[in-house]
Structure 1
Amino acid sequence: MVTVDLHTHTRFFHAFSGPTSYDPIGARLLVAFAQWRGLDAVAVTNHDYYSRLDIDTGSLTLIPGIEVSTTAGHVLVVGPEPPMRTTPGALTPEEIIDIAHERDCAAIVAHPFRNSVVRDLDLPFDAYEVNGKRSVPIDQIQQLAETDETSLVGGSDAHFPFEVGRAYTEVDTEESTPKAVVRAIRDGRADYRLNESIPLELIRQFYKRVHRLKGHVDH
């Protein structure tokens, strides 16, 4: 088994539309906290861009990824060769699934009940995400996955490095390479796990309140 956080970011806020000089620093911090939490791999999924990071990760695997802002919500594309850049709101979920599969990547619906109607589309996604911020009850996401016969995976949605691993994925594979992880997700050999320590639970409750006050959550 391999443990992977499938949804992380290298910077704190959303204010920039592309790579910055801070990204390698943020990635090193992600790696440090991921190793401290005992993870085997981390997917870096910045908003609408992917950049190759030449940093020392030790035994931890950095999996390429991107969080695409589609016309209907956010979709994670993780795997060997995700697209380098996407324009927010320009691509449909259907187009992103095609791009992901052409590049041997997995297409995962990110936070399906927050700022998203992707879940309402009958499309061949590889998984739904149990997001670390968990703005809705897990049974709501489980019901969605069961209805669509789609796997559930976990991702922290960490913008601050210490949030890494609050939700992650246990993948039934012996290797933590991007290809092996993607193959297992697409075969349904993956499931979400949660870190419910008191500090992370307090942070989750904070995000839950903020998202609901902003009207970002659908029930």
Structure 2
Amino acid sequence: MFAVDLHAHTRFFHGHRRLGDRFDPYGFRLLARAIDVRGLDGVATTNHDYYTPFSSARVTVIPGIEVSTTRGHVLVVGPDPPAETVPGEYTPAEVVELAHDRGCAAIVAHPYRDSTIRELDELPFDAIEINGKHPRTERLVQQLAERHELPLVGGSDAHYPFEAGRAYTRIDAAELTPEAVVEAIRDGRVEPRVATGRSDRALRRLYRTIHARKHPDGLLSDPSPGVGDPPEPDDP
């Protein structure tokens, strides 16, 4: 059994590609150190719309990319993610096909933040994510996964190293390789975990405040009718 953060970034900012490319190796070292300190076995590097190979003596690195589709973000994780994608160019269906053609898993990222992918039926996604920034939506994500009969995974969505490992995935596999991770996801041999320490709770409250300002109508985008935003069980 391995513990892997399936959604993490190596830079603190979006855009500024040239500056970011120079910063990424340093950002990755900080990320790997944070994952190691958390006691996790590995991390998927899922930068927005590009993939850069990394390696570490501290943790196992799973290749990945977070693709900005026409309807929201999709994580593509596995042995051969695309090197680069154009934001808003691909539909979710096209990204799923792209992922599968490359032997990767296609995962719905944060389905209740800036995403309407959850409204699209009959797409062969491999899993749905419980996002470390919004564990309050966990019950809604569970219901979504049950409705589509898909496994749940966890990822921190870390952009800063101290965020890494707030949510992660327990993976039942004999070895920790990209191929084994994809196979375990598709077989449902995965289980999400959300950190509940004091600093984790404080960080989530901060993110709720930030996203409440960004989305005045509420943290959730178009939640299911009659379903509210359930309180976190670890809130004091």
Task: Name 1:114's counterpart in structure 2.
Answer: 113
Residues 135, 211 of structure 1: 8 Å contact kept? no
Gaps of 5+ in 1: none
Counterparts of residues 55-204 of structure 1 (less than 5 Å)? 55=55, 57-122=56-121, 123-134=123-134, 136-204=136-204
Aligned partner of 2:220 in structure 1 is: 217
C-alpha distance in structure 1 between counterparts of 2:220 and 2:21, whole Å: 30
TM-score normalized by the length of structure 1: 0.95
The 1:111/1:196 distance shift into structure 2, 3 A limit, reads same
Distance 1:176 1:41 in 2: 8
TM-score normalised by length of structure 2: 0.89
- Who is 2:51 aligned against? 50
What is the deviation of 1:174? 1.8
* 1:20 corresponding residue in structure 2: 21
Q: Spell out, residue by residue over 1:127-156, the C-alpha distance to the aligned partner (whole angstroms, 9 max, x if none).
A: 110000016431111111111111110000
**Structure 1: how far apart are the matches of 2:135 and 2:34?**
23
Matched letter for residue 95 of structure 1? E
- Aligned counterparts of 1:15 and 1:89: Cα–Cα separation in 2: 15
Aligned to 1:34, the other structure's residue is in SS state: helix
Retained in 1: the 8 A contact 2:126–2:186?
A: yes
Alignment correspondent of 1:40: 41
Q: Alpha-carbon deviation of 1:213? A: 2.0
Equivalences, count: 217
Aligned-residue Cα RMSD (Å) equals: 1.3
Q: State how far apart, in whole Å, the 2-side matches of 1:20 and 1:59 are.
A: 22
SS across alignment from 1:129: strand
User: What is the percentage of aligned positions where both structures have the same residue?
Assistant: 55
Given that 2:32 and 2:58 are in contact with CA atoms closer than 8 Å, whether structure 1 keeps it comes out as no
Distance 2:152 2:33 in 1: 26
**Residue identity matched to 2:23:** Y
Residues 112, 137 of structure 2: 8 Å contact kept? no
* Gap regions ≥5 residues in structure 2: 224-236
- 1:31 corresponds in structure 2 to 32
Give the number of the structure whose alpha-carbon radius of gyration is greater.
2
Q: Structure 1 stretches (4+) deviating beyond 3 angstroms?
A: none
Task: Describe the superposition over 1:149-182 as per-residue Cα deviations: whole angstroms up to 9, x where unpaired.
Answer: 1111000000000111100000110211111011
| Separation of aligned partners in 2, 1:188 and 1:109 | 15
